[in-house]
């Protein structure tokens, strides 16, 4: 059983969105897994082979397992074939918590469709009669990252202690973040990319009184058993 399964459309999505959260539990008993729904074959720079090696290195830095699936990059859709693949993944690893994209239509279509796909698959995975392999299982919670600016986070996780690990993991994706001199320009190989990532983390951290934070959104209402636990959330 996996405690936290972070599912992204492309290699490096998870590291950008929740690398600090995953790195926070490095060396602990909390079992974490990164899932790339695609191999990133449509990426402007790099190849699937290169990106797989980079993803493996990044996962090792974060102390996570990594699974790379074979959904088509640029063409992720919510259909029966893809639902079954994600359902079987969930039933196999049985994650307590899933972290995945926020369904924002203004972002990459794969991000939007991944959010819908994962959310639906997580529910259907709990139906005993749904025709997919594995014993039925439904995660306890699904949280979303890559929030648009107009969405207020449901919670912000203090990642001050693990922000340097996040950045190290990001830099393992060399074909994406360090390709501006030998590749084509993208949003992630700009000279200021790491500054922008740090600025965002500082902004969210400031809102909860810490140095660095990563925001998550939950579509329901979060409850706690003991009100004294609020300060530790």
pLDDT in tens, 8-32: 999 999 999 999 999 999 999 999 9
Instruction: Flag whether pLDDT at 233 surpasses 60.
Output: no
Convert the pLDDT of each residue in 59-93 to its tens digit. Answer: 999 999 999 999 999 999 999 999 999 999 999 99
User: pLDDT, tens digit, for every residue of 37-46?
Assistant: 999 999 999 9
Q: What are phi and psi of 158, to 5 degrees?
A: -70, 115
Sheet containing 97-101: order of strands: 65-68, 32-36, 4-8, 97-101, 141-145
Model confidence band, residue 187 (pLDDT cutoffs 50, 70, 90): confident
Q: What is the largest CA-CA distance in the chain?
A: 54
pLDDT score recorded for residue 155: 96
For residue 143, the cross-strand partners are: 99
User: Which pLDDT belongs to residue 231?
Assistant: 60
pLDDT of amino acid 2:
97
Average pLDDT over residues 128-142: 97
* % of residues, the chain, pLDDT over 70: 98
Residue 36's H or E segment, with its range, is: strand 32-36
Helix/strand/coil for 213: strand
Comparing C-alpha atoms, which of 119, 129, 134 is closest to residue 218? 119
Instruction: Tell me the residue length of the chain.
Output: 233
Interval 111-122 mean pLDDT: 98
User: What is 4-232's CATH topology?
Assistant: Rossmann fold (3.40.50)
97 has which bridge partners?
4, 141
Contact between 4 and 25 under an 8 Å Cβ cutoff? The reply is yes
Q: Mind listing the pLDDT tens digit for each residue in 208-221?
A: 999 999 999 999 99
Q: Which two tokens stand for residue 113?
A: 């469709």
- Give the containing element (helix H, strand E) for 127: none
The whole-number pLDDT of residue 180 equals 80
Query: Helix, strand, coil shares of the chain as percentages rounded to 5?
Result: 40, 15, 45
- Name the pTM for this structure: 0.95
Domain boundaries, the chain: 4-232
């Amino acid at each position: 059983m996996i405690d936290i399964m972070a599912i992204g459309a492309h290699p490096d999505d998870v590291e950008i969105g929740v690398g600090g959260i995953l790195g926070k539990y490095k060396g602990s008993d909390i079992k974490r897994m990164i899932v790339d729904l695609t191999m990133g074959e449509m990426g402007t720079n790099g190849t699937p082979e290169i990106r797989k090696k980079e993803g493996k290195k990044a996962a090792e830095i974060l102390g996570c397992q990594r699974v790379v699936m074979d959904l088509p990059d640029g063409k992720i859709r919510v259909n029966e074939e893809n639902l079954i693949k994600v359902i079987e993944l969930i039933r196999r690893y049985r994650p307590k918590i899933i972290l995945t994209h926020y369904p924002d239509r203004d972002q990459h279509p794969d991000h939007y469709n991944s959010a819908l796909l994962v959310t639906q698959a997580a529910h259907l995975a709990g139906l005993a009669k749904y025709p997919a392999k594995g014993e039925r299982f439904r995660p306890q919670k699904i949280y979303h990252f890559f929030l648009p600016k107009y969405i207020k986070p449901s919670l912000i996780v203090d990642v001050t202690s693990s922000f340097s690990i996040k950045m190290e993991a990001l830099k393992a994706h060399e074909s994406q973040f360090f390709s501006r001199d030998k590749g084509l320009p993208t949003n992630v190989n700009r000279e200021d990319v790491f500054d922008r990532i740090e600025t965002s983390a500082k902004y969210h951290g400031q809102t909860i009184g810490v140095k660095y934070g990563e925001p998550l959104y939950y579509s329901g209402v979060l409850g706690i058993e003991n009100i004294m636990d609020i300060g530790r959330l």
